[in-house]
Amino acid sequence: MSSVAKLPSLDLTSDRVHRNLSTPVLVETALMRNEGKLAANGTLVVMTGERTGRSPKDKYLEDTPEIHDNIWWGTVNQPITPEGFDSLLAVANDYLASKDDLFVFDGFVGADPKYRLASRTVTELAWHSLFVKTLFIEPTEDEMTTFEDSLADGWTILNCANRKLTAEEAEAAGVNPTGTCIIQSLTRKMVIIFGTEYAGEMKKSLFYAMNYDMPDVEVFPMHCSANVAKNEPNNVALFFGLSGTGKTTLSADEKRALIGDDEHGWSADGVFNFEGGCYAKCINLSAKTEPQIWDAIRFGSCLENVVMDPDSRVPNYDDGSITQNTRVTYPVEFIPGAQIPSVGRHPKNVIFLTADAFGVLPAVSKLTPEQAMYYFINGYTSKLAGTEQGVTEPQPNFSPCFGGPFLPRHPAKYAQQLAERIKQHNANVWLVNTGWRGTNEGTLRRYSLPYTRAMVTGILDGSLAKTEYAEHPIFGLHMPKTIPGAGIPDDILNPRSNWTDKSAYDQTATKLAKLFRDNDKKFEMSDSVRAAGPKA
């Protein structure tokens, strides 16, 4: 442990510190401070400046003896020395101590009290406090009386959003000289953010913390959404996928109760949400295609980087001129019929969501247990525009466990936890492509949301498991030949039939298969799991 105390000079007891303010007061404060504008639908519309997505190349983890051997070091987990962490902690404390106002939110991460973590978030921006108030779990009055005790083993976030590091400070700490930096310490249980107003850094930092802590208490942490049939509590479904692949959209279903849209744990008792709110992409959002999310955007919600008409104050969800990664945050209870508290039984279906930029993978496939392990540990998808700094168009990407940027431990640790739970609870596993398919014009077109919803409905009501399947000649995936009653043309289910130039499809499929094989060399896996991959 560093010799520097956790919060050596930051006084959080003065009148300038505003703690757990109500939503109306936070919104009013943000408007008074010119941090955002109020839309006609009552939402607070804010801009995050230069950074409109996560900054993974500027994220660092303190390397200490206590955790060193447990970490998957590399491009995801970049080390910072304790001395470097100390130097930036001093910068953060001096900066926050100089502010006229600070906003503190005390809350929890984890809907199951057995496993939740206490957290304290200190921000200079009122809307950042509204953000975490929406996404984390607010304590009851009784819980607040003992919160300081809970925080003794909890987490602290210091968000210095408007403080860019100087080149000298960055060099002294051993970090990139971009001015933006996110440093995290699993030993001190602390996160410090510099030079970015993108609020998702706060939420993802505590997801990262849960990803480290939960395996030690036999909980499988997951980058997934979850819902449950309203009249069938045993019919729980998980939706794994990276940002933009459809976790939030597909789990918001009028016939099912939402458990959560992004981060969950799977314990011996079932699944539970890590959060108390949702953080949905809203580019091209419409009331027709995503009615539950549309209706959830109201007072208490926060819209990030959404263009708004200055006169009517109506948000334009089709305008991606600032970023394709426009976002909205809202409490989970804003979704009608949401599961409160956000817990459920063991999943019956596990769905991997992939946005295939090549137009090669089937729209939907049923996976064998070995294929489930193979596709989980490879985590193929495409990075979608705006979800990370510098990503402006879809890029093929392998992200282990469909959440590589948030994994402190080696992916094999999480893959083994998944395998054990699938086997123990006899869960079905599926691969759903929310990406692109070929067209008669020789171009690629994204699968329509109504078709994808119909496929997911077939999975969840059990009908898709009973239909006839064909095997993909290169990937070995089991593709349904038809989905009765879904109104989906059969030729859409076989990706090769979507391409006018069949030889071009075969060449592209072989290219993607080779990318899979090149990627799987990075991981140790059994012969049977490796054999479940594509032919290359």
Query: Which residues does the annotation mark as catalytic?
Result: 54, 204, 223, 243, 247-248, 262, 327
H/E segment holding residue 518: helix 502-520
Structure-block tokens of residue 246: 């459809």
Q: 260: number of CA atoms within 13 Å, CB side?
A: 28
C-alpha span between 306 and 39 (Å, rounded)? 10
C-alpha span between 364 and 479 (Å, rounded)? 6
| HEC secondary structure over 51-74 | CCCECHHHEEEECCCCCHHHCCEC
SS3 content of the chain, % helix, strand, coil (to 5): 30, 25, 40
Task: Find, among 162, 161, 225, the residue nearest to 199 by Cα.
Answer: 161
Length of the chain counted residue by residue = 536
C-alpha span between 479 and 470 (Å, rounded)? 5
C-alpha span between 362 and 437 (Å, rounded)? 8
DSSP 439-485: -TTSSEEEPPHHHHHHHHHHHHTSSGGGS-EEE-TTT--EEES--TT
C-alpha span between 248 and 293 (Å, rounded)? 9
The β-bridge relationship of strands 181-185 and 190-194 is antiparallel
- Contact between 182 and 158 under an 8 Å Cβ cutoff? The reply is no
Return all residues near 374 (Cβ < 8 A) that are at least 6 apart: 520, 525, 529, 530, 532, 533
- Contact between 30 and 127 under an 8 Å Cβ cutoff? The reply is yes
Strand partners, 181: 194
Q: Where are the beta strands (DSSP E) in 277-320?
A: 277-281, 302-304, 307-308, 315-316
* Category of 103 on φ-ψ map: left (φ > 0), alpha (ψ -120 to 50) or beta: beta
